[in-house]
């Protein structure tokens, strides 16, 4: 029998301080997330300086809790995995420095992980049968990518956003209709009370990129609609705006993704990233996949938004491939997918 591989994973790329212990890439022994949302809410978005300071305060406690929850100590670990990009540089540095310190003190291998590879790997946790190749739609606050996961950690990018990321569009529209930060979950909730067909917002097509996305036109259309209402004294029904916007985003995400699956003959599709926790997107993708006989994988919402369990899953497959980082590992705020 093969010996188990235990990885302590650390994630601090944005406003969540997170640590997890993951066994063999797929079994989560602990998953601790300390969110800073309440703090950043006051400013209407993440304040990088505050995020770094809070990570420094919390990280040791979060790691200790992850070890305790898993019932292990640092001596039981086989490697340390850590997000080293993309993200806020000051925030990433806290996790990277912490991971290096633990790895150095305990003489453990250090495995740097791409944050987006982490999001994709969240799918392995609850689906023991899922193995590459598969198609994956990655929709987070900073990224919107349609990729073929060719092998663990190997991606072919089919399409990407030309402007705003899907989550960014959610956050900006939420701010415009006065819902505050973070916008995605608030639009998701408010949409339940609105009519998704109330306002015909545009569904953008990118002419020279069949699988590319564009959301800035949609965002402008929402802002124009709100301005027009204010100028003409028409009452704004926020729930209708939220539901109609959400449907416009979802239509494009589902349309491009399912078309790619058909054109490439892929029968497995996974969702990843914070926006993948959106109820309407999950449902609409499920219906479209059922019609086309595509098997759909959707991580539980807690594994869609930032967490360290997904970093542990990705780190395991990198570790198995032999990926090791040195003591010069640095935070790379704009690390590209597929780069090491
Ligand atoms: O993956 P994530 O936690 O962090 C990044 O790597 O960016 O994604 C955060 C993004 C934010 O833009 C947030 O508004 C969005 O995901 N989000 C949602 C939902 N939950 C989080 N968007 C739509 N519906 C949701 N339920
Ligand atoms: Zn993320």
Together in a domain, 146 and 39:
no
List the beta bridge partners of residue 272.
138
CA angle (82 as vertex; 272, 65 as ends), nearest 5: 95
Res 65 pLDDT > 80: yes
Do 139 and 259 reside in the same domain of the chain?
A: yes
Res. 270: pLDDT tops 80: yes
Output the pLDDT for position 256.
97
Q: What is the CATH number of the domain that holds 98?
A: 3.30.420.40
Residue 305 pLDDT more than 90?
yes
Q: Quick one: 288 and 157 in the same domain? A: yes
| In-domain check, residue 334 | no
Q: Is the pLDDT of residue 314 over 70?
A: yes
Helices (H), 21-143: 37-41, 48-70, 89-106, 115-126
**Pair 219, 270 in one domain:** yes
**Range 34-50 average pLDDT:** 93
Confidence of residue 340 (pLDDT cuts 50, 70, 90): low
Q: Domain of residue 172: give its range.
A: 133-299
Number of H helices, E strands in the chain: 11, 10
Q: What average pLDDT does this structure show over 122-135?
A: 98
pLDDT category, 157, cuts 50, 70, 90? very high
| Percent of the chain with pLDDT strictly greater than 70 | 99
Is residue 128 one of the residues assigned to a domain? no
Helix or strand (DSSP H, E) at 222? helix 216-232
Is any ligand 1 atom within 6 A of the Cβ of residue 85?
A: no
How many angstroms separate the CA atoms of 181 and 156, rounded? 33
pLDDT in tens, 213-262: 999 999 999 999 999 999 999 999 999 999 999 999 999 999 999 999 99
Assess if residue 333 is contained within a domain. no
Query: 246 and 158, same structural domain?
Result: yes
Mean predicted confidence (pLDDT) in 272-300: 98
pLDDT at 182: 87
Q: Tell whether 330 is covered by a domain.
A: no
Give me the number of domains the chain comprises.
Answer: 2
Mean of pLDDT values over 296-305: 98
Segment 192-210 shows an average pLDDT of 95
**Mean pLDDT within 61-76:** 98
CA nearest ligand 1 atom 3, residue? 305
170 within ligand 1 shell (Cβ under 6 A): yes
For 311-333, what is the mean pLDDT? 98
Q: In this structure, is residue 336 part of a structural domain? A: no
Based on the domain organization, do 284 and 149 belong to the same domain?
yes
Confidence of residue 27 (pLDDT cuts 50, 70, 90): very high
Identify whether residues 317 and 295 lie together within a single domain. no
Quote the longest CA-to-CA distance of the chain: 72
pLDDT higher than 70, residue 164: yes
| 282 and 311 co-located in one domain | no
237 in the same domain as 137: yes
Question: Which whole number is the average pLDDT over 148-172?
Answer: 97
d(CA 298, CA 26): 15
Question: Ligand 1, residues 305, 308, 335: which to mutate, most atoms within 8 A of Cβ?
Answer: 305
Asked, for residue 115, whether it belongs to a domain, the answer is yes
323 lines ligand 1 (CB under 6 A): no
Residue 338 located in a structural domain: no
What average pLDDT does the chain have?
Answer: 97
**CB neighbour class for 65 (10 Å; exposed up to 12, middle 13-18, buried from 19):** middle
Q: Which helix (H) or strand (E) holds 19?
A: strand 16-23
CA atoms within 13 A on the CB side of 143: 29
Instruction: Reply yes or no on whether the pLDDT at 339 is more than 80.
Output: no
Statement to judge: residues 73 and 140 lie in one domain: no
Atom of ligand 1 nearest to the CA of 167: 12
Same domain, 117 and 151: no
Query: Do 92 and 144 fall into the same domain?
Result: no
For position 181, what pLDDT does the model report?
A: 87
Q: Is residue 173 part of a domain?
A: yes
Structure confidence at residue 94 (pLDDT) = 98
Centre of ligand 2 to C-alpha 309, Å, is: 12
CA separation, residue 184 to residues 5, 179, 205 (Å): 36, 10, 22
What whole-number percentage of the chain has pLDDT above 90? 95
User: Nearest-CA neighbor of 250 among 300, 192, 188, 307?
Assistant: 188
């Amino acid at each position: 029998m093969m010996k188990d591989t235990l990885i302590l994973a650390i994630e601090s790329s944005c406003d969540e301080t997170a640590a997890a212990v993951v066994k063999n890439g797929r079994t989560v022994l602990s998953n601790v997330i300390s969110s800073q949302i309440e703090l950043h809410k006051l400013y209407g978005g993440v304040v990088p300086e505050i995020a770094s300071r809070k990570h420094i305060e919390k990280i040791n406690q979060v790691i200790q809790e992850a070890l305790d929850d898993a019932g292990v100590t640092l001596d039981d670990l086989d490697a340390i995995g850590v997000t080293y990009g993309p993200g806020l540089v000051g925030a990433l540095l806290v996790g990277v420095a912490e991971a290096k310190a633990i790895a150095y003190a305990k003489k453990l291998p250090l495995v740097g992980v791409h944050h987006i590879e982490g999001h994709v790997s969240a799918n392995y946790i609850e689906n023991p049968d899922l193995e590459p190749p598969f198609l994956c739609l990655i929709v987070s606050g900073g990224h919107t990518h349609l990729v073929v996961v060719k092998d663990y950690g190997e991606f072919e990018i089919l399409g990407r956003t030309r402007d705003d990321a899907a989550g960014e569009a959610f956050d900006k529209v939420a701010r415009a209709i006065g819902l505050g930060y973070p916008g995605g979950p608030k639009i998701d909730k408010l949409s339940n009370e609105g009519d998704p067909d109330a306002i015909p917002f545009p569904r953008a097509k990118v002419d020279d990129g069949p699988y590319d996305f564009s959301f800035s036109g949609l965002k402008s259309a929402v802002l124009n609609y709100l301005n027009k209402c204010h100028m003409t004294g028409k009452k704004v029904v926020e729930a209708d705006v939220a539901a109609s916007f959400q449907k416009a985003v979802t239509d494009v995400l589902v349309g491009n993704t399912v078309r790619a699956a058909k054109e490439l003959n892929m029968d497995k599709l996974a969702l990843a990233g914070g926006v993948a926790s959106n109820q309407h997107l999950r449902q609409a993708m499920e219906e479209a996949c059922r019609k086309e006989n595509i098997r759909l994988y959707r991580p539980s919402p807690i594994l869609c938004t930032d967490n360290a369990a997904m970093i542990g899953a990705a780190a395991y497959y990198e570790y198995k491939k032999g990926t090791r980082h040195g003591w010069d590992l640095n935070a790379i705020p704009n690390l590209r997918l597929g780069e090491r």
